[in-house]
Amino acid sequence: MSDPIIAILNADEATKELLASCDFKGVAVKHFQNGLDLSNQWEQNALNVTAIISQTEIMGASGVSLMEALHNKKFPRVPFFIITLYAKENMMKFSLDAGVSDVFVIPIKPKSIETRVNFIIERWASIDTNLKRKVYKTYKTPFAKRLFDIVFAGSVLLVLSPILLLVILAVRLESKGPVFYYSLRVGTGYRIFKFFKFRSMYVNADQRLKDLKHLNQYSSGTGGAEKVKEDNSPVLCDECISLGSKCRFPVYADNNSWCEKKYSVFKKATANSAFIKIKDDPRVTKVGKILRNTSIDELPQLVNVLIGDMSIVGNRPLPLYEAEKLTTDKYALRFVAPAGITGLWQVEKRGKGEMSEEERLMLDNNYALNHSFLYDIGLILKTIPALFQKESV
């Protein structure tokens, strides 16, 4: 067996210096770009990993979900530590219940990490044996629902393939850039996956955020538009900037990426509601407006359905920055239900005016408690007329 190592993931320069000053009793540290890099090298080189330290958000791709993914792939169970910028009490409890050994919140003293990591590694055999991990009830898709999802998604993709080809051509011709983009979403059981859509904005969308505050349509009595900060890093939100140059909530399109949270914060500042879309947004392409108004931009999610990330009907998967706030019993119920393209709140509230966050979450919980195959069929039938409403949603 190779020499023991402590695997370090996603560490920025400050964290690398911090860990380099720690004495892990002769155990070497080895840096990895992300969880995929770690798992590949671990398997190919038969690494002797004695602990993992990941600089990430608890609900991030290299947080709890990575730890569980490594366990599911039958890698040896080793101490898993998280270094993060902030962690609320409920998130700390969630991570520890899930099996994380400890969470360190920046700023951290080297001695604190050194002492805790060495202590856990030395006693890991006993700790792992006696550790009682809280098992969260996970949703398993019934056979009938899964069969329906595969048949429905496959049939729609086949029937609409000529339209999809035209959409791909139209998107490509109108503006340079990729046809598709994806962002990370949290679905059933807090599982994180890539969420696909047709691109409906220009590739430099975030770099034009500051220009929107000059549009009259965003002038509200509270001066919300003026709250948008003009900074030297327009593609990052304030939280991203505080971490350096790393974006915590990116949306990806080939080699391009932008901060999804910054766009969400901007919408709240200018529209005074998290659920109102920006009308006549100049960053949206002409083809993109048609795609959004007809919900055609959502069609690539049928691929997510075929893969098994989502169902046709379920609660909408959430961005990481929203999901990390919903870990209390009151709201976590929504994650027990299947994640889906359409669901109860889209049918009940779509196009009928503003909806509070509380309303939306309660509808999600209602679906989690009452969903069934026949109930899903009813929601699908109600979704069809909602697709042709005039309001852009």
Alpha carbon distances (Å) from 79 to 25, 101, 103, 134 = 16, 6, 11, 16
pLDDT band, residue 184 (cuts 50/70/90): confident
Is the pLDDT at 276 greater than 80? The verdict is no
**How many C-beta neighbours within 10 Å does residue 23 have?**
11
CB within 8 Å of 295: residues ≥ 6 apart: 387
* Per-residue pLDDT at 149: 93
* Per-residue pLDDT at 155: 94
Least confident stretch, 39-53, 98-112, 190-204, 327-341: 327-341
At residue 90, what is the residue type? N
At residue 306, what is the residue type? L
HSE-up of residue 200 (Cα within 13 Å, Cβ side) = 20
* Per-residue pLDDT at 264: 62
Homologous superfamily, domain 4-130? Response regulator (3.40.50.2300)
pTM over 0.75: no
Residues 262 and 231 sit within 8 Å (Cβ to Cβ): no
Secondary structure (3-state) at 123: coil
As a whole number, the mean pLDDT across the chain is 77
- The helix-helix angle for 161-174 and 143-159 (nearest 10°) equals 60
The pLDDT tens digits of the residues spanning 355-369 come to 667 677 778 878 888
Is the pLDDT at 266 greater than 80? The verdict is no
Least confident stretch, 154-163, 165-174, 226-235, 318-327: 226-235
Q: How far apart are the first and last CA of the chain?
A: 56
Is the pLDDT at 8 greater than 60? The verdict is yes
CB within 8 Å of 388: residues ≥ 6 apart: 294
If we measure between CA atoms, which residue out of 186, 168, 165, 185 comes closest to residue 252?
185
Instruction: Check residue 336 and report its DSSP letter.
Output: T
At residue 142, what is the residue type? P
**CA dist., res. 389 & res. 392, Å (int):** 8
* Per-residue pLDDT at 218: 34
pLDDT band, residue 219 (cuts 50/70/90): very low
Instruction: Check residue 10 and report its DSSP letter.
Output: S
Q: Where are the domains of the chain?
A: 4-130
Residue given tokens 């951290």 in the structure block? 108
Highest mean pLDDT among 77-86, 208-217, 276-285: 77-86
Q: For the chain, what is the radius of gyration of the CA atoms?
A: 23
* Per-residue pLDDT at 261: 66
Averaged pLDDT, 126-131: 75
Q: CA torsion 117→121→119→129, rounded to 10°?
A: 120
Is the pLDDT at 116 greater than 90? The verdict is yes
Is the pLDDT at 71 greater than 60? The verdict is yes
Residues 265 and 239 sit within 8 Å (Cβ to Cβ): no
CB within 8 Å of 296: residues ≥ 6 apart: 163, 167, 198, 290
If we measure between CA atoms, which residue out of 195, 139, 192, 138 comes closest to residue 323?
192
